[in-house]
Amino acid sequence: MKYLLPFCFLLLPLGALAQNPVPEKERLIRKLMQVSKVFELARYTMDATIEGQRKVANPNLPEGFWEEFKKEITDEKLYELYVPIFSKHYTEEDLKGLITFYETPLGQKMVQNQPLVMQEASQAGEQLGAEIAMKVYTKLKKE
């Protein structure tokens, strides 16, 4: 279960520390989350994280644990998590501008490509990390 901690912390209700937004601001946040497909990106990231956790997590987890875990992460729970965070960092004017952007063809292209960009960046980062680790290891072994 100790391997679940890094993943589960992402789902903590940190947003509860922020003020509850006024209804108009919350409506704008929800619209932004829809047009920018925040949930799809969150679920993509969650799926990738879960696949990594399957390899290192406690082997005593019951069959179907991860599938049931994913079912518990509903859209409404994600709204409850994200709305206060977005409210803390964006004004209503910011939200309107972001919505306008994400409704454009360029905004939708960004949304569509974001998972691919993240995947490629992650792979490139892993490769860079491995190269640096080998370089540092070789350097320190010579000393």
pLDDT reported for residue 20:
57
User: DSSP secondary structure string, the chain?
Assistant: -TTHHHHHGGGS-GGGGSPPPPHHHHHHHHHHHHHTTHHHHHHHHHHHHHHHHHHHS-TTSPTTHHHHHHHH--HHHHHHHHHHHHHHH--HHHHHHHHHHHTSHHHHHHHHHHHHHHHHHHHHHHHHHHHHHHHHHHHHHH-
Q: Per the confidence metrics, is the pTM higher than 0.85?
A: no
Among 6-20, 54-68, 92-106, top mean pLDDT goes to 92-106
Residues 72-128 have pLDDT tens digits of 888 889 889 999 999 999 999 999 999 999 999 999 999 999 888 988 988 898 889
